[in-house]
Amino acid sequence: MPHPALIIPVMEEKSLRILWDDDLLSEYSFTYLRGWCPCAVCQGHGGTRNFIPVENPQLESISAVGNYAITPRWTDGHDTGIYTFEYLRTLSEQHETLSQEQAKG
Q: What is the pTM of this model?
A: 0.90
54-61, Cβ contacts within 8 angstroms, sequence gap of 24 or more: 56/31, 57/30, 57/31, 57/33, 58/14, 58/30, 59/9, 59/11, 59/14, 59/16, 59/30
Q: Is the pLDDT of residue 104 over 70?
A: no
Q: Tell me the mean pLDDT in the region 72-77.
A: 97
Over pLDDT 70: what percentage of the chain?
94
Are the C-beta atoms of residues 41 and 80 closer than 8 Å to each other? yes
Domain count for the chain: 1
pLDDT of residue 97: 76
**4-34 pLDDT, tens digit each:** 999 999 999 999 999 999 999 999 999 999 9
One-letter identity of residue 31? T
CATH of the domain at 41: 3.30.2020.30
CA proximity to 58, closest of 84, 79, 39, 40: 79
* Residue numbers of the domain that contains 29: 4-104
What burial letters (b/e) apply to 28-56, b meaning 16+ CB within 10 Å? bbbbbbbbbbbeeebbeeeeeeebeebee
